[in-house]
A and B are shown apart, each in its own frame.
Chain A
Amino acid sequence: MIKIEQLSKSFGKLHVLKNIDLQLEGGECVSLIGPNGSGKTTLIKSILGMVIPSSGRILFEHKNIHGAWQYRQDIGYMPQIGEYPENMTIGQVVDMMKDIRRMPEAEMDMELYDKFELHRMLDKRMRTLSGGTRQKVSACLAFMFNPKTLILDEPTAGLDPLATEILKEKIIKEKHKNKLILITSHVLSDLDDLVTQITYMQDGQLIFHKTIEALKTDTDTDKLSKAIAQVMRTEGGLR
């Protein structure tokens, strides 16, 4: 579904991504893990066309995304911090997204919208919202248009346990619809039961891309967080 070939990006002298090769397919829930500043967000932003790569290319369903914009119709993106125009109400933001996507009402996926009870606060202005509520709005918008690919940047940060559960259930459900779900998260335990593949990045390099079973066998542990901690130790020790 997404194929990344020899992707590099530098900001001035800083090499944020170094020759990344990665292939991601539908039906998988891929977790993108790495220390702070390892290039996770830059990689995600490159896929979304927000960052223009220095070299290499990204194919979305076999088409180069460079200069294209229609492909984003098939991507739902939940940013780390959802910022919206302060004077707009939740209702207006939702309407704006509907206008941008132009999808018939019948095809839209309103499950999260109903479960998070957004309809009860449509008149609230964005500047009055707490971080958690903003996250809920972002999540609803990412899932609303039934995209083939979901990119979630730290989705559970700021959400209360109840909302986190709802979101997790939704992610699992979408995965079974043969969608690709790409998640970055620091809170590993949150993801233990839904991730199928792990991609580990460090210093702008892709260290490995494995299924979760392979990772657990390789590191001789049964918990994801322990496996990752083990990897981080060994990777740290290598240098």
Chain B
Amino acid sequence: MNNKIIKYVITDLLRNRTILVYTLVLLALSLSIFMIEDNTDKGIASLLNIVLFVIPLVSIVFSTIYLYNSSEFIALLVSQPLKRQTIWLSLFIGLATAMSLAFLVGVGIPTLLFAPGISGITLVIDGLLLSLIFVSIAMWTSVRIRDKAKGIGLAIMLWLYFALIFDALLLFALFQFADYPIENLMIAVSMLNPIDISRILILLQIDLSAMMGYTGAIFRNFFGTHSGMIITFIIMLLWAAIPLYFSTRFFKQKDL
């Protein structure tokens, strides 16, 4: 693995104004929430909603645009004595590092300062994983679609799907099958959406699950146990690894 390219990709990204603005906006949001809210659990719940919307959106859209804008540079790297796989993975590591750093500075540090504890740590880990997952999805869409406008469009559609449409469909299904015992099925279905997994994990940590009734108890039974946590963690990692794997496979055969 030639880590030399990673260094240059990260240097380039950290100079990027969008990343800087993103970090500052996150920092302002989390600081103001913690300043206003006395109860840290409530603070985390408010921050959670922002994290679950903003992190996936910025990660997927920014990465997609960056990859399209770098297409000539990627072509130049391919013409150099480098393995294609190395180039692609370096781009992933660069983007993932930049997004994670922005999140850590913007949300991670304030959270750990104002709300140290298991719920704060869960929020930070979830945010980091979500950054990785949506960078990975962006890698896959931008390698498959040549046209920049279509690629960015698809990225936004995917974000809408994961952030809003999936939940709407789930809610619809829930009402339709309200008379049946589908709680265990719900756990399985929620694994199909990394944003949902993150939300459930954090809500369970801040004891709001008591308000979720019987379903909350079922969730607690699964997500609250060690094996449940480990399975969830592995599924989150798979969400990051699978799009990256397919995008790398496609990139090796791509004409530039």
Q: Bound state CA distance, A86 and B18, in angstroms? A: 14
Choice from A82, A85, A97 contacting B80 with Cβ under 8 Å: A97
Q: Is B234 an interface residue (CB 8 A)?
A: no
User: B72 to A83, Cβ gap below 8 A?
Assistant: yes
> Shortest CB–CB separation between residue B66 and chain A, in angstroms?
10
Sampled A-B contacts (17; CB under 8 Å): A48-B79, A49-B79, A52-B255, A69-B81, A73-B81, A79-B75, A83-B73, A85-B12, A85-B70, A86-B12, A87-B16, A88-B12, A97-B80, A99-B4, A99-B7, A100-B2, A100-B82
- Complex Cα spacing A84 to B2, Å: 19
- The answer to the question of B84 belonging to the interface, with a C-beta cut-off of 8 Å to chain A, is yes
0 or 1 for each of B67-78: is its CB under 8 Å from A? (1 = yes): 000101101111
In the assembled complex, the Cα of A84 lies from the Cα of B8 at a distance in Å of: 11
Contact with A100, one of B5, B70, B255, B256 (Cβ below 8 angstroms): B5
**Interface size of B as a range:** 20 to 34
Q: Decide if A234 is an interface residue (CB 8 Å cutoff).
A: no
In the assembled complex, A108 has its CB within 8 A of some CB on chain B: no
CB proximity of A62 to chain B, nearest CB, Å: 18
Tell me if B11 counts as interface (CB < 8 A to partner A).
Answer: yes
Q: For the complex, is A51 an interface residue (Cβ under 8 Å from B)? A: yes
Q: How far is the CB of B116 from chain A (nearest CB, A)?
A: 36
Q: How far is the CA of A84 from the CA of B108 in the complex (A)?
A: 33
Known: A85-B8, A87-B15, A96-B8. 6 other contacts (CB 8 A): A52-B255, A79-B75, A79-B79, A83-B76, A85-B73, A96-B5
Scoring B2, B11, B15, B79 by chain A CB atoms within 10 A of each residue's CB, the highest score goes to: B79
> Which positions in B face A, CB cutoff 8 Å?
2, 4-5, 7-9, 11-12, 15-16, 70, 72-73, 75-84, 253-256
Measured between beta carbons, the chain B residues less than 8 angstroms from A86 are: 12
A69 touches B253 (CB 8 A): no
Question: For the complex, is A219 an interface residue (Cβ under 8 Å from B)?
Answer: no
**B76 neighbours in A (Cβ, 8 Å):** 79, 82-84
Residues of B within 8 A of A75 (CB): 79
Is A50 at the interface (CB under 8 A from chain B)? yes
What are the residues of chain A within 8 A of B12 when measuring CB–CB?
85-88
Question: Given A69-B83, A83-B73, A87-B15, do A49 and B5 touch, yes or no (CB 8 Å)?
Answer: no
Name the interface size band of chain A.
20 to 34
Across-interface contacts of A85 in B (CB, < 8 A): 8-9, 12, 70, 73
Q: How far is the CA of A77 from the CA of B11 in the complex (A)?
A: 24
Question: In the complex the two chains form, is B83's CB within 8 Å of A96's CB?
Answer: no
Of all chain B residues, which has the CB nearest A9? Answer: B255
Contact indicator A81/B81 (Cβ below 8 Å): no
Please, which residues of chain B bring their CB within 8 A of the CB of A217?
none
Which residue of B has the minimal Cβ distance to A51? B255
8 Å CB contact of A45 from B15, B73, B256: B256
- Chain A residues, Cβ within 8 Å of B81: 69-73, 100-101
A73, B77: Cα distance in complex, Å: 12
Query: Knowing A92-B11, A96-B8 touch, does A52 contact B253 (C-beta < 8 A)?
Result: yes
**Min CB distance, B93 to chain A, in Å?**
16
Top-8 shortest CB links A-B: A83-B72, A99-B4, A72-B81, A87-B15, A73-B81, A85-B12, A50-B256, A51-B255
Contact A77 B79 (CB under 8 A): yes
Closest to B253 in A: A52
- Cβ A92 vs Cβ B80 within 8 A: no
Q: Which residues of A contact B16 (CB under 8 A)?
A: 87
> Complex formed: what's the CA distance from A75 to B256 in Å?
17
Interface centre among B8, B80, B84 (most CB of A within 10 A): B80
- Residues of chain B lying within 8 A (CB to CB) of residue A96: 4-5, 8
CA distance A79 to B15 in the complex (A): 26
A70 to B81 alpha-carbon distance, docked (Å):
5
A contact residues around B70 at 8 Å (CB): 85
- Give the residues in chain B near A70, CB-CB below 8 Å: 81
CA distance A83 to B80 in the complex (A): 14
CB-CB < 8 A to B78: which residues of A?
48-50
Given contacts A83-B72, A87-B15, contact A11 B79 (CB under 8 A): no
Residue on A nearest B12 in the bound complex, by CB: A85
In the assembled complex, the Cα of A97 lies from the Cα of B73 at a distance in Å of 12
Distance between Cα atoms of A70 and B83 in the complex (Å): 8
User: In the complex, what residue of chain A is closest to B9 when comparing beta carbons?
Assistant: A85
Task: Decide: A50 and B79 in contact? CB cutoff 8 A.
Answer: yes
Query: How many Å lie between the Cα of A75 and that of B7 in the bound state?
Result: 24
From A71, A81, A85, residue with most partner B Cβ within 10 Å: A85
